Amino acid sequence: MTRAIAPALRPTTADNRLSGRPEFDAIAAWIEHGAQVLDLGCGDGSLLRYLREGRRAMGYGIEIDDANVLASVRNGVNVLQSNLESGLAGFESGSFDYVILSQTLQAVRHTEQIIGEMLRVGRQAIVTFPNFGYWGHRLQILRGRMPVSPTLPYQWYDTPNVHLFTLRDFEAFCADHGIRILERVVMNQGRVVSILPNLLGSLAVYRFNRGPQP
Amino acid sequence: MNAPESIGVVIARKAQFDRPVRLRSGAVIDRYELAYETYGRINQKRDNAVLVCHALNASHHVAGIYGDNPPNVGWWDNLVGPWKPVDTNRFFVVGVNNLGGCHGSTGPASIDPATGRPWGADFPVVTVEDWVQTQAQLADHLGIERFAVVMGGSLGAMQALQWTMSFPDRIRHALVIAAAPKLSAQNIAFNEVARQAIMTDPDFHGGDFYAHNVVPRRGLRLARMIGHITYLSDDAMAEKFGRALRNGALKFNFDAEFEIESYLRYQGDKFSDYFDANTYLRITKALDYFDPAADYGGDLTKALARAKAAFLVVSFTSDWRFSPARSREILKALVDNRLDVSYAEIDAPHGHDTFLMDDQRYHNLIRAYLDNVDIG
């Protein structure tokens, strides 16, 4: 039986190429106490555990990979094995406070569909993704090579990423799709970047909802 | 870590209950016995008890062997024992033969004290709810106020699910494996074929075959054969038997020529040697009747609104009897109620019966889940 794979890029305990922590803090800062969250592509469940311990958040992770499902169970968080690409059919509309997609959007094939589902099920959505427009990435492109960095830690031939994009690309996408960006945090090496974010930031964190209908 | 070993020699016990039990059908059984086994030790806080519910043909003999019959290994011995996923060094595990069974608990073959003869056809139809009620009586008998875990596969999983609704305060975790929230028409159809096979056997005598000193063996064989087909996947059968012939060449007669025929006949024969026909009828009825959502307009979310337990739900991709989609129905109701639940869909080829097998991904998952169950 073949299953479409939406690999999670979230670090597992065995994979420390991404520290993960700074974005966790950014996300946690937005989430009120006791919120109900759905974490798509939850990896080993670290973020859910962090939100439960830090924000008393209750929620579920969705994960396709067997090893990550096992790691999440070990981590004591709720994980539901399912393929994100087939949507969130089991979840009622507007039933979660936040639907989070952390370090996974660039690896999802049907971008519009998954963002649409996040905004259907969640009152708000949060995504984090590596900024392809980061100067270090641009420099590697100028030198004629695909970028490899702490936020894009894969070679061109083994990357699970299928859609690489920049902050400006994402914001244009939101504008085109009637999505209202509520807040944005851009980071590099764990520090918040406030000037020239599309050039100096390697990791973006966005909070958004469905904008007012025209 | 030591290599997991069987728990070794175990002893079956019986508990006697003199308080009448009113069944879902309205029938009352004045007194009854339940056969059970326990493994491991109850701890000081009495919070480490695990109830293992059996499915169609199994019993209270979950793990270990009997001193006088070493080949009789418990049906879930690969899962339950010292250092195994259900670790008897940590947990106090209880196996019970359900009411209406034929492995030592009061059932159709038992003597009805009112008549001095076997119950036979007069033994009431029992349901999953009835089993859970009587299992709770056994828990009282053993001094278990609250189970750390109630678990089972298939029909056993339905009992674990029912526990969370019947006794929400007496169960902390439910392991619901290869389950369905109710049978489909196709599931019921297979059960009806099995029942018809038994009831139309001339040796059935309307259920009172004990008096005639016969057993409706042909009916039981057929019932088991049809059941077995539904427990295995097409792929598993193809891999295990294919079109292999027992004697290499076609014989142009109706002997068991293909290996699959021989296998089914063997399974049927073995089953008809030990299983009670009246018990089989009742267990398939219990399956057919299980539908906790029925009292809530078909809304499983409402049925599970009173549940408090945390859940682990597991399905197997090749299970066509209770497919992953059926487990996802349960999952949705649990998530709608914001209950703690994890769900795994194990990509294993063996069909429904995978829940009995030693699959590493499956066993690792159960081990990981149970390691996080607080005890002591």
Contact check, Cβ <8 Å, B340/A78: yes
- Angle of helix B277-289 versus helix B128-141 axis, rounded to 10: 110
Q: How confident is the model at residue B36 (pLDDT cuts 50, 70, 90)?
A: very high
Which residues have C-beta within 8 Å of that of residue B62, sequence separation ≥ 6? B37, B39, B52, B54, B74, B75, B76, B77, B80, B93, B95
Residues in B closer than 8 angstroms to A78, CB to CB, are 340-342
Instruction: Report ipTM (2 d.p.).
Output: 0.94
Q: Above 90 in pLDDT, residue B3?
A: no
Closest CA to B98 of B76, B71, B125: B125
Q: Is B312 on the interface with A (CB under 8 A)?
A: yes
Radius of gyration of chain B (CA): 20
Q: Above 70 in pLDDT, residue A10?
A: no
Average pLDDT over residues B174-186: 98
Closest CA to B365 of B155, B147, B135, B175: B175
Q: Is B154 a catalytic residue?
A: yes
Query: Which of A60, A68, A73 should be substituted to probe chain B, the one whose Cβ sees the most B Cβ atoms within 10 Å?
Result: A73
Region for B358 from its dihedrals, namely left if φ exceeds 0, alpha if ψ lies in -120 to 50, beta otherwise: beta
Query: Which neighbouring-strand residues pair with B118?
Result: B111
Element (H, E) at B172: strand B171-177
Locate the chain B residue with the closest alpha carbon to A90: B332
pLDDT for the residue A86: 79
Average pLDDT over residues B342-367: 96
pLDDT tens profile B308-342? 999 999 999 999 999 999 999 999 999 999 999 99
pLDDT tens profile B125-167? 999 999 999 999 999 999 999 999 999 999 999 999 999 999 9
Average pLDDT over residues B210-225: 97
Interface of chain A against chain B, CB under 8 Å?
1, 3, 36, 58, 60, 66, 69-70, 72-74, 76-82, 90-92, 95
**Distances A190 to A19, A119, A124, A149, A186 between C-alpha atoms, Å:** 9, 28, 24, 14, 9
Tokens 């094995």 correspond to: A81
Q: How confident is the model at residue A22 (pLDDT cuts 50, 70, 90)?
A: confident
Of the candidates B335, B344, B369, the beta carbon closest to that of A60 is on B335
Q: Is B319 a catalytic residue?
A: yes
pLDDT tens profile A185-205? 999 998 999 999 999 999 999
pLDDT for the residue B4: 64
pLDDT for the residue A7: 41
pLDDT tens profile A43-60? 999 999 999 999 999 999
pLDDT tens profile A106-116? 999 999 999 99
Closest CA to A213 of A181, A177, A169: A177
**Distances B273 to A191, B276, B325 between C-alpha atoms, Å:** 73, 9, 35
Q: Above 80 in pLDDT, residue A94?
A: yes
Nearest-Cα distance to chain A for B250, in Å, is 33
Strands B147-153 and B171-177 turn out to be: parallel
What pTM did the predictor assign?
0.93
Whole-angstrom distance, CA of residue B236 vs CA of residue B242: 9
pLDDT tens profile A133-178? 999 999 999 999 999 999 999 999 999 999 999 999 999 999 999 9
Q: Is B353 a catalytic residue?
A: no
CB-based contact B269:B225 (threshold 8 Å): no
Q: Which of residues 104-163 of B touch A (CB under 8 A)?
A: none
Mean pLDDT of all residues in chain B?
96
Residues in A closer than 8 angstroms to B312, CB to CB, are 73
Closest CA to B283 of B118, B170, B155, B171: B155
Whole-angstrom distance, CA of residue B279 vs CA of residue A88: 42
Q: How confident is the model at residue A13 (pLDDT cuts 50, 70, 90)?
A: very low
- Which tokens is B220 given? 């039981």
Whole-angstrom distance, CA of residue A194 vs CA of residue A141: 24
Helix, strand, or coil (residue B361): helix
**Distances A94 to A36, A117, A118, A209 between C-alpha atoms, Å:** 11, 10, 9, 11
Size of interface A-B (CB pairs under 8 A): 53
Contact check, Cβ <8 Å, B345/A76: no
